[in-house]
Amino acid sequence: MFKNRLKLFTLLGFEVRVDLSWIIIAVLITWSLSAGYFPYRYENLSTQTYWLMGIVGALGLFLSIVVHEFSHSLVARGYGIPITGITLFIFGGVAEMEEEPSSPRAEFMMAIVGPITSIIIGVIFYGIHQYGLISGWSVPVNGVIAYLGLINVILAAFNILPAFPLDGGRVLRSILWGWKKNLRWATRISSQIGSGFGMVLILLAVLQILNGNFIAGMWWFLIGMFLRGAAQMSYQRVLTRQNLEGEPVRRFMQTDPVTVPSSLTVAELVDDYIYKYHFKMFPVVDNGKLIGCITTKQIKEIPREAWSHRTVAEIANRCSEQNTISPETDAVKALGLMSRSAMSRLMVTENGRLVGIIALKDLLNFLSLKMELED
Protein backbone atom coordinates (compact mmCIF):
# COMPACT_ATOMS: atom_id res chain seq x y z
CA MET A 1 0.00 0.00 0.00
CA PHE A 2 2.76 2.42 0.94
CA LYS A 3 5.81 2.55 -1.33
CA ASN A 4 7.79 5.55 -0.04
CA ARG A 5 7.90 5.87 3.73
CA LEU A 6 10.32 6.73 6.49
CA LYS A 7 10.60 5.13 9.91
CA LEU A 8 10.17 7.67 12.71
CA PHE A 9 10.39 5.59 15.89
CA THR A 10 9.33 2.34 17.58
CA LEU A 11 7.04 2.32 20.62
CA LEU A 12 5.52 -0.67 22.45
CA GLY A 13 6.81 -2.91 19.67
CA PHE A 14 5.08 -0.95 16.87
CA GLU A 15 7.05 0.86 14.18
CA VAL A 16 5.69 4.32 13.41
CA ARG A 17 6.38 5.38 9.84
CA VAL A 18 5.42 8.33 7.69
CA ASP A 19 4.48 8.06 4.03
CA LEU A 20 6.03 10.83 1.97
CA SER A 21 2.53 11.95 0.96
CA TRP A 22 1.95 13.01 4.57
CA ILE A 23 4.65 15.68 4.26
CA ILE A 24 2.53 17.34 1.57
CA ILE A 25 -0.58 17.31 3.74
CA ALA A 26 1.40 18.51 6.79
CA VAL A 27 2.44 21.59 4.81
CA LEU A 28 -1.16 22.18 3.72
CA ILE A 29 -2.45 21.82 7.29
CA THR A 30 0.15 24.27 8.58
CA TRP A 31 -0.74 26.74 5.84
CA SER A 32 -4.50 26.36 6.46
CA LEU A 33 -4.07 26.98 10.18
CA SER A 34 -1.62 29.86 9.79
CA ALA A 35 -3.38 31.69 6.96
CA GLY A 36 -7.00 30.78 7.68
CA TYR A 37 -8.12 29.28 10.98
CA PHE A 38 -6.00 31.09 13.58
CA PRO A 39 -6.22 34.58 11.97
CA TYR A 40 -10.01 34.15 11.80
CA ARG A 41 -10.32 33.03 15.45
CA TYR A 42 -7.69 35.28 16.99
CA GLU A 43 -7.25 38.70 15.41
CA ASN A 44 -4.40 41.20 15.62
CA LEU A 45 -1.54 38.75 16.15
CA SER A 46 1.68 38.89 14.15
CA THR A 47 2.21 36.80 11.02
CA GLN A 48 5.11 35.06 12.75
CA THR A 49 2.85 34.12 15.67
CA TYR A 50 0.21 32.71 13.35
CA TRP A 51 2.80 30.54 11.59
CA LEU A 52 4.21 29.34 14.91
CA MET A 53 0.68 28.45 16.04
CA GLY A 54 0.12 26.62 12.74
CA ILE A 55 3.30 24.56 13.09
CA VAL A 56 2.57 23.61 16.72
CA GLY A 57 -1.06 22.84 15.84
CA ALA A 58 0.02 20.55 12.96
CA LEU A 59 2.48 18.73 15.26
CA GLY A 60 -0.23 18.32 17.89
CA LEU A 61 -2.56 16.87 15.26
CA PHE A 62 0.23 14.50 14.19
CA LEU A 63 0.66 13.24 17.78
CA SER A 64 -3.13 12.90 18.21
CA ILE A 65 -3.34 10.70 15.10
CA VAL A 66 -0.45 8.55 16.36
CA VAL A 67 -2.22 7.99 19.71
CA HIS A 68 -5.47 7.22 17.85
CA GLU A 69 -3.74 4.55 15.73
CA PHE A 70 -1.90 3.14 18.75
CA SER A 71 -5.26 2.47 20.39
CA HIS A 72 -6.31 0.43 17.34
CA SER A 73 -3.00 -1.46 17.37
CA LEU A 74 -3.12 -2.33 21.08
CA VAL A 75 -6.65 -3.72 20.83
CA ALA A 76 -5.70 -5.65 17.67
CA ARG A 77 -2.73 -7.14 19.51
CA GLY A 78 -5.08 -8.20 22.30
CA TYR A 79 -7.16 -10.14 19.76
CA GLY A 80 -4.07 -11.77 18.22
CA ILE A 81 -4.18 -9.73 14.98
CA PRO A 82 -0.62 -9.09 13.70
CA ILE A 83 0.13 -5.39 13.15
CA THR A 84 3.17 -4.64 10.99
CA GLY A 85 3.30 -1.01 12.08
CA ILE A 86 1.58 2.36 11.96
CA THR A 87 1.93 4.57 8.90
CA LEU A 88 0.89 8.20 8.64
CA PHE A 89 -0.22 9.01 5.11
CA ILE A 90 -1.95 11.76 3.17
CA PHE A 91 -5.21 11.78 5.16
CA GLY A 92 -4.36 10.50 8.60
CA GLY A 93 -2.94 7.19 9.65
CA VAL A 94 -3.48 3.46 9.49
CA ALA A 95 -2.57 0.52 11.69
CA GLU A 96 -1.35 -2.00 9.11
CA MET A 97 -2.93 -5.42 9.71
CA GLU A 98 -1.40 -8.52 8.18
CA GLU A 99 -4.83 -10.19 8.13
CA GLU A 100 -8.51 -9.37 8.57
CA PRO A 101 -10.01 -9.46 12.10
CA SER A 102 -10.89 -12.98 13.19
CA SER A 103 -14.46 -12.19 14.27
CA PRO A 104 -17.10 -9.42 14.19
CA ARG A 105 -16.42 -8.74 17.89
CA ALA A 106 -12.69 -8.25 17.25
CA GLU A 107 -13.46 -5.83 14.40
CA PHE A 108 -15.99 -3.91 16.47
CA MET A 109 -13.69 -3.47 19.49
CA MET A 110 -10.70 -2.55 17.37
CA ALA A 111 -12.71 0.04 15.40
CA ILE A 112 -14.66 1.68 18.22
CA VAL A 113 -11.61 2.33 20.40
CA GLY A 114 -10.26 4.89 17.90
CA PRO A 115 -13.10 7.45 18.17
CA ILE A 116 -13.28 6.88 21.94
CA THR A 117 -9.57 7.67 22.21
CA SER A 118 -9.97 10.85 20.15
CA ILE A 119 -12.86 12.00 22.35
CA ILE A 120 -10.77 11.41 25.48
CA ILE A 121 -7.87 13.40 23.97
CA GLY A 122 -10.30 16.19 23.02
CA VAL A 123 -11.75 16.35 26.54
CA ILE A 124 -8.25 16.48 28.05
CA PHE A 125 -7.25 19.39 25.81
CA TYR A 126 -10.55 21.15 26.59
CA GLY A 127 -9.81 20.84 30.31
CA ILE A 128 -6.31 22.22 29.81
CA HIS A 129 -7.80 25.09 27.77
CA GLN A 130 -10.22 25.97 30.59
CA TYR A 131 -7.39 25.90 33.10
CA GLY A 132 -5.39 28.17 30.80
CA LEU A 133 -8.21 30.69 30.64
CA ILE A 134 -8.43 30.80 34.43
CA SER A 135 -4.65 31.04 34.76
CA GLY A 136 -4.29 33.79 32.17
CA TRP A 137 -2.20 31.91 29.64
CA SER A 138 -1.31 33.79 26.46
CA VAL A 139 -3.75 33.82 23.54
CA PRO A 140 -1.44 31.88 21.15
CA VAL A 141 -0.81 29.09 23.67
CA ASN A 142 -4.43 28.73 24.69
CA GLY A 143 -5.56 29.10 21.08
CA VAL A 144 -3.50 26.09 19.95
CA ILE A 145 -4.75 24.02 22.91
CA ALA A 146 -8.35 24.92 22.10
CA TYR A 147 -7.77 23.91 18.46
CA LEU A 148 -6.36 20.51 19.49
CA GLY A 149 -9.37 19.88 21.72
CA LEU A 150 -11.74 20.80 18.90
CA ILE A 151 -9.92 18.89 16.14
CA ASN A 152 -9.84 15.67 18.17
CA VAL A 153 -13.60 15.84 18.74
CA ILE A 154 -14.06 16.51 15.01
CA LEU A 155 -11.79 13.54 14.21
CA ALA A 156 -13.90 11.32 16.47
CA ALA A 157 -17.16 12.56 14.90
CA PHE A 158 -15.83 12.14 11.36
CA ASN A 159 -14.37 8.69 12.03
CA ILE A 160 -17.58 7.36 13.56
CA LEU A 161 -19.52 8.00 10.33
CA PRO A 162 -20.67 4.63 8.88
CA ALA A 163 -18.49 4.98 5.78
CA PHE A 164 -15.91 2.23 5.27
CA PRO A 165 -12.92 2.29 5.78
CA LEU A 166 -13.51 4.90 8.49
CA ASP A 167 -13.84 3.49 12.01
CA GLY A 168 -17.62 3.90 11.87
CA GLY A 169 -17.66 1.97 8.60
CA ARG A 170 -15.72 -0.83 10.28
CA VAL A 171 -18.22 -0.82 13.14
CA LEU A 172 -21.01 -1.11 10.55
CA ARG A 173 -19.14 -3.92 8.80
CA SER A 174 -18.76 -5.81 12.08
CA ILE A 175 -22.52 -5.54 12.72
CA LEU A 176 -23.40 -6.69 9.18
CA TRP A 177 -20.79 -9.45 9.41
CA GLY A 178 -22.23 -10.70 12.68
CA TRP A 179 -25.75 -10.58 11.23
CA LYS A 180 -25.17 -12.40 7.92
CA LYS A 181 -21.98 -14.31 8.88
CA ASN A 182 -20.54 -13.15 5.56
CA LEU A 183 -17.47 -10.89 5.64
CA ARG A 184 -17.46 -10.37 1.88
CA TRP A 185 -21.08 -9.19 1.74
CA ALA A 186 -20.58 -6.96 4.78
CA THR A 187 -17.50 -5.39 3.21
CA ARG A 188 -19.28 -4.80 -0.10
CA ILE A 189 -22.22 -3.00 1.57
CA SER A 190 -20.08 -0.87 3.89
CA SER A 191 -17.67 -0.04 1.04
CA GLN A 192 -20.54 1.11 -1.17
CA ILE A 193 -21.72 3.39 1.63
CA GLY A 194 -18.17 4.71 2.05
CA SER A 195 -17.86 5.36 -1.68
CA GLY A 196 -21.22 7.15 -1.72
CA PHE A 197 -20.23 9.28 1.25
CA GLY A 198 -17.04 10.26 -0.57
CA MET A 199 -19.16 11.42 -3.51
CA VAL A 200 -21.29 13.54 -1.16
CA LEU A 201 -18.16 15.23 0.17
CA ILE A 202 -17.02 16.00 -3.38
CA LEU A 203 -20.38 17.65 -4.17
CA LEU A 204 -20.20 19.66 -0.93
CA ALA A 205 -16.68 20.73 -1.90
CA VAL A 206 -17.96 22.11 -5.22
CA LEU A 207 -20.66 24.10 -3.38
CA GLN A 208 -18.09 25.49 -0.93
CA ILE A 209 -15.80 26.61 -3.76
CA LEU A 210 -18.72 28.22 -5.65
CA ASN A 211 -19.58 30.12 -2.46
CA GLY A 212 -16.04 31.47 -2.28
CA ASN A 213 -14.74 29.23 0.53
CA PHE A 214 -11.80 27.79 -1.36
CA ILE A 215 -9.84 26.35 1.59
CA ALA A 216 -12.80 24.39 3.02
CA GLY A 217 -13.79 23.27 -0.47
CA MET A 218 -10.28 22.05 -1.19
CA TRP A 219 -10.25 19.92 1.97
CA TRP A 220 -13.70 18.43 1.37
CA PHE A 221 -12.76 17.57 -2.21
CA LEU A 222 -9.46 15.88 -1.26
CA ILE A 223 -11.03 13.93 1.59
CA GLY A 224 -13.95 12.87 -0.60
CA MET A 225 -11.65 11.64 -3.36
CA PHE A 226 -9.52 9.74 -0.86
CA LEU A 227 -12.49 8.16 0.92
CA ARG A 228 -14.08 7.05 -2.35
CA GLY A 229 -10.84 5.43 -3.53
CA ALA A 230 -10.07 3.85 -0.15
CA ALA A 231 -13.55 2.28 0.08
CA GLN A 232 -13.20 0.65 -3.34
CA MET A 233 -9.65 -0.50 -2.60
CA SER A 234 -10.70 -2.04 0.73
CA TYR A 235 -13.35 -4.18 -0.96
CA GLN A 236 -10.84 -5.32 -3.59
CA ARG A 237 -8.44 -6.29 -0.79
CA VAL A 238 -11.07 -8.52 0.83
CA LEU A 239 -11.86 -10.12 -2.54
CA THR A 240 -8.16 -10.77 -3.09
CA ARG A 241 -7.70 -12.29 0.35
CA GLN A 242 -10.73 -14.55 0.11
CA ASN A 243 -9.83 -15.80 -3.36
CA LEU A 244 -6.19 -16.51 -2.48
CA GLU A 245 -6.56 -17.68 1.10
CA GLY A 246 -5.71 -21.35 1.57
CA GLU A 247 -3.82 -21.59 -1.71
CA PRO A 248 -0.15 -22.56 -1.18
CA VAL A 249 2.69 -20.81 -2.97
CA ARG A 250 3.61 -24.18 -4.51
CA ARG A 251 0.52 -23.97 -6.72
CA PHE A 252 1.67 -20.77 -8.44
CA MET A 253 5.46 -21.02 -8.49
CA GLN A 254 7.52 -21.60 -11.63
CA THR A 255 9.54 -24.72 -10.91
CA ASP A 256 12.25 -24.16 -13.52
CA PRO A 257 13.33 -20.54 -12.97
CA VAL A 258 16.02 -18.77 -14.95
CA THR A 259 19.08 -18.32 -12.73
CA VAL A 260 22.37 -16.45 -13.18
CA PRO A 261 25.92 -17.24 -11.99
CA SER A 262 27.63 -14.78 -9.66
CA SER A 263 30.61 -14.43 -12.03
CA LEU A 264 28.61 -12.54 -14.67
CA THR A 265 29.38 -8.87 -15.20
CA VAL A 266 26.48 -6.47 -14.90
CA ALA A 267 26.72 -5.77 -18.65
CA GLU A 268 26.40 -9.49 -19.44
CA LEU A 269 23.48 -9.80 -17.03
CA VAL A 270 21.62 -6.94 -18.72
CA ASP A 271 22.29 -8.05 -22.31
CA ASP A 272 21.98 -11.84 -21.91
CA TYR A 273 19.28 -12.13 -19.27
CA ILE A 274 17.26 -8.98 -18.48
CA TYR A 275 16.72 -7.94 -22.10
CA LYS A 276 16.11 -11.55 -23.10
CA TYR A 277 13.72 -12.74 -20.35
CA HIS A 278 12.31 -9.36 -19.19
CA PHE A 279 12.40 -10.21 -15.48
CA LYS A 280 13.20 -7.65 -12.77
CA MET A 281 14.77 -10.19 -10.42
CA PHE A 282 17.00 -13.23 -11.00
CA PRO A 283 18.18 -15.81 -8.45
CA VAL A 284 21.97 -16.09 -8.25
CA VAL A 285 23.08 -19.74 -8.22
CA ASP A 286 26.62 -21.22 -8.24
CA ASN A 287 27.11 -24.99 -8.65
CA GLY A 288 23.53 -25.65 -7.61
CA LYS A 289 23.82 -23.51 -4.45
CA LEU A 290 21.56 -20.50 -4.01
CA ILE A 291 23.61 -17.38 -3.24
CA GLY A 292 20.96 -14.68 -3.33
CA CYS A 293 19.29 -12.55 -5.98
CA ILE A 294 19.97 -9.56 -8.22
CA THR A 295 17.35 -6.94 -9.18
CA THR A 296 17.05 -4.23 -11.80
CA LYS A 297 16.74 -1.71 -8.95
CA GLN A 298 20.26 -2.58 -7.82
CA ILE A 299 21.59 -2.33 -11.36
CA LYS A 300 20.16 1.18 -11.77
CA GLU A 301 22.33 2.30 -8.85
CA ILE A 302 25.50 1.24 -10.71
CA PRO A 303 26.98 3.85 -13.10
CA ARG A 304 26.63 2.72 -16.74
CA GLU A 305 30.39 2.92 -17.32
CA ALA A 306 30.98 0.44 -14.45
CA TRP A 307 28.74 -2.30 -15.87
CA SER A 308 31.56 -3.98 -17.77
CA HIS A 309 33.76 -4.64 -14.72
CA ARG A 310 31.32 -4.93 -11.81
CA THR A 311 30.10 -8.50 -11.20
CA VAL A 312 26.85 -9.93 -9.92
CA ALA A 313 28.70 -11.33 -6.87
CA GLU A 314 29.60 -7.81 -5.76
CA ILE A 315 26.08 -6.42 -5.67
CA ALA A 316 23.73 -9.41 -5.21
CA ASN A 317 21.35 -9.44 -2.24
CA ARG A 318 21.76 -12.36 0.13
CA CYS A 319 18.77 -14.58 0.90
CA SER A 320 16.52 -13.09 3.57
CA GLU A 321 12.92 -13.04 4.77
CA GLN A 322 12.35 -10.15 2.36
CA ASN A 323 13.08 -12.10 -0.84
CA THR A 324 12.43 -15.79 -0.02
CA ILE A 325 9.35 -17.77 0.92
CA SER A 326 8.42 -21.39 1.61
CA PRO A 327 6.40 -23.39 -0.98
CA GLU A 328 3.77 -24.22 1.66
CA THR A 329 3.20 -20.60 2.68
CA ASP A 330 -0.26 -19.20 2.05
CA ALA A 331 -0.36 -17.16 -1.18
CA VAL A 332 -1.98 -14.28 0.74
CA LYS A 333 1.22 -13.92 2.78
CA ALA A 334 3.30 -14.01 -0.39
CA LEU A 335 1.22 -11.16 -1.83
CA GLY A 336 1.62 -9.19 1.40
CA LEU A 337 5.39 -9.71 1.36
CA MET A 338 5.57 -8.50 -2.25
CA SER A 339 3.62 -5.39 -1.30
CA ARG A 340 5.81 -4.57 1.71
CA SER A 341 9.11 -5.23 -0.07
CA ALA A 342 8.00 -3.68 -3.41
CA MET A 343 9.18 -6.84 -5.24
CA SER A 344 7.21 -8.49 -8.03
CA ARG A 345 9.06 -11.85 -7.75
CA LEU A 346 10.09 -13.95 -4.74
CA MET A 347 12.44 -16.93 -4.53
CA VAL A 348 10.74 -20.08 -3.24
CA THR A 349 13.14 -22.07 -1.08
CA GLU A 350 13.03 -25.38 0.77
CA ASN A 351 15.82 -26.36 3.18
CA GLY A 352 17.99 -23.63 1.69
CA ARG A 353 17.47 -24.87 -1.89
CA LEU A 354 15.82 -22.90 -4.68
CA VAL A 355 12.71 -24.81 -5.80
CA GLY A 356 10.94 -22.11 -7.79
CA ILE A 357 9.92 -18.49 -8.34
CA ILE A 358 6.56 -16.96 -7.53
CA ALA A 359 5.62 -13.90 -9.60
CA LEU A 360 3.03 -11.22 -8.90
CA LYS A 361 1.61 -11.49 -12.42
CA ASP A 362 0.83 -15.21 -11.89
CA LEU A 363 -1.11 -14.42 -8.70
CA LEU A 364 -3.01 -11.61 -10.41
CA ASN A 365 -3.86 -13.77 -13.45
CA PHE A 366 -5.26 -16.45 -11.12
CA LEU A 367 -7.30 -13.85 -9.24
CA SER A 368 -8.70 -12.40 -12.45
CA LEU A 369 -9.78 -15.79 -13.77
CA LYS A 370 -11.26 -16.97 -10.48
CA MET A 371 -13.33 -13.80 -9.98
CA GLU A 372 -14.51 -13.90 -13.60
CA LEU A 373 -15.68 -17.50 -13.32
CA GLU A 374 -17.06 -17.53 -9.76
CA ASP A 375 -18.40 -14.02 -9.04
The burial class, CB within 10 Å (0-12 / 13-18 / 19+), for 96 is: buried
Last residue of some domain: 160, 192, 217?
A: 160
Full residue range of the structural domain in which residue 114 is found: 5-160
Same domain for 31 and 133, yes or no, is yes
Q: List beta partners, residue 87.
A: 17, 94
pTM over 0.85: no
Domain count, the chain: 2
pLDDT at 93: 63
Residue 17 lies in a domain: yes
CA distances from 306 to 12, 302, 315 (A): 45, 7, 12
In a domain, 189, yes or no: no
CATH number at residue 317: 3.10.580.10
d(CA 56, CA 93): 19
Evaluate whether residue 49 is within a structural domain: yes
**What is the rounded CA–CA span in Å between residue 375 and residue 357?**
29
Note the Cα 284 to chain centre separation in Å: 32
Q: Please give the backbone phi and psi of residue 271, each rounded to the nearest 5 degrees, phi first.
A: -70, -40
User: What is the four-CA torsion angle of 351, 357, 358, 360, rounded to 10 degrees?
Assistant: 140
Residue 168 lies in a domain: no
User: How high is the pLDDT of residue 374?
Assistant: 64
pLDDT on residue 266: 92
Q: What is the DSSP letter of 260?
A: B
The two counts, helices (H) then strands (E), for the chain are 14, 10
Domain edge (last residue) among 160, 181, 206: 160
Please report the pLDDT score of residue 265 as a whole number: 92
270 and 153 inside one domain: no
Q: Is residue 227 part of a domain?
A: no
Are 156 and 254 within one domain?
Answer: no
- Among candidate residues 137, 160, 183, the one where a domain is terminated: 160
Whether 193 is covered by a domain: the verdict is no
Per residue, the 3-state secondary structure of 102-136, as one string, reads CCHHHHHHHHHHHHHHHHHHHHHHHHHHHHHHHHC
**pLDDT at residue 2, rounded to an integer:** 45
Tell whether 263 is covered by a domain. Answer: yes
Residue 342 neighbours by CB under 8 Å, 6+ apart: 3
Specify the pairing of strand 14-19 against strand 83-89: parallel
Residue 41 belongs to some domain of the structure? yes
**Nearest-angstrom CA–CA distance, 89 and 24:** 9
Per-run averaged pLDDT (10 residues), the chain, 375 residues:
62 71 80 88 90 92 86 84 68 64 87 92 95 91 93 90 85 91 86 88 88 79 82 79 82 90 92 91 89 90 89 88 88 82 86 88 84 68
